[in-house]
Amino acid sequence: MPDLEGKVALVAGATRGAGRGIARMLGEAGATVYCTGRSTAGSPSRIGRSETIEETAALVDVAGGRGIPVQTDHLSEGEVRSLFERVAREARQLDIVVNDIGGEDEAEWGALHEMDLERGFRFIDTAVRTHIITSRYAVPILREQRHGLIVEITDGDHPGFRGAFFYDLAKNQVIRAAYAMAMELKRRGVTVVALTPGFLHSEAMLENFGVTENNWTDAAPKAKGFSESETPCVVGRAVAALAADPRVHDKTGQVLASWGLAKEYGFTDIDGRRPDWIGFVERSCYELVREGGPYDAEDRFWLRAGHDMMKGNPRWNVLREQIEGVIEV
């Protein structure tokens, strides 16, 4: 297990999902974790979710770290400035910053000409602008220290299409933000990476399938790929492993994936599995190509998704060509 005893982390968007898993696993490694977000016991979620930052901080404590909940609207520059002033004053150091705010509740699927532009711009604000504001006030602390790790949570480690205009735009902007900061900060000893989880079975996903963390495998027959899904703790252990790696700066500017880091650092999910999302997609596409059709809508979805996920990696050129030979992509 990574040793982050004495390290201080801040997870923006720690209320639920990947952010909560990251905070927990940083706590498991012994870190002090500032858990930020808008949803508190006295100020419930505007999207009807029950999770709060106080609950996340308590989970950090149980895991072995120290959780500090701080209500923060990361779209408010003033609140974010005050947040980092507090961290600098109380902790006198900052080692890990995770930008996990995703805004998926505002995400809309479909073609651009069919979309509500105001909703799309709200999504960009929540999924991208929050990251920029947070990093703007985190970076001065890290630069002054001449060390630290910033992790930008995204969706996908590939240059392919992510299914919808604003969603694709947001997740790629986060990747470019990580790269731009990495270039600015590489001579100051600060590491910046983008990191994607695999198929994440978050609290909302489990509820959608009518299962809990204890019996989630019961939902596997309901959705292709669910058997290869991962808890938010996998991406959390990925962040902890990166933060504890003395050679992490070699990775600055890169786009990383939870399944790849699990193999590199040897960690597993909390149930002992080691999910391999891209491996599952690759196997599924090979099987579909080998079967040769006819393909229904779900088959075509997986073939197109695999074609996009494999873009940019020469290893999959042949498979991508085979997919192009059986369906229109």
Q: Which of 34, 137, 167, 179 is catalytic?
A: 167
In the sheet that 8-12 helps form, which strands lie side by side, from edge to edge?
A: 66-71, 32-37, 8-12, 96-99, 148-153, 190-196, 255-257
Contact in structure between 152 and 175 (CB atoms under 8 Å):
yes
Rounded CA gap, 178 and 153, in Å? Answer: 9
CB atoms within 10 A of CB 328: 6
Rounded CA gap, 146 and 144, in Å? Answer: 5
What phi and psi, each to the nearest 5 degrees, are found at residue 217?
A: -65, -15
DSSP 74: T
**Two tokens at 178?**
């990580």
Residue 167 is a catalytic residue? yes
Contact in structure between 131 and 179 (CB atoms under 8 Å):
no
3-state secondary structure 24-90: HHHHHCCCEEEEEECCECCECCCCCCCCCHHHHHHHHHHHCCEEEEEECCCCCHHHHHHHHHHHHHH
Amino acid at 299: D
Alpha helices (runs of H) in 147-293, residue ranges in sequence order: 165-185, 203-208, 232-244, 258-265, 277-291
List, by residue number, the catalytic residues: 167
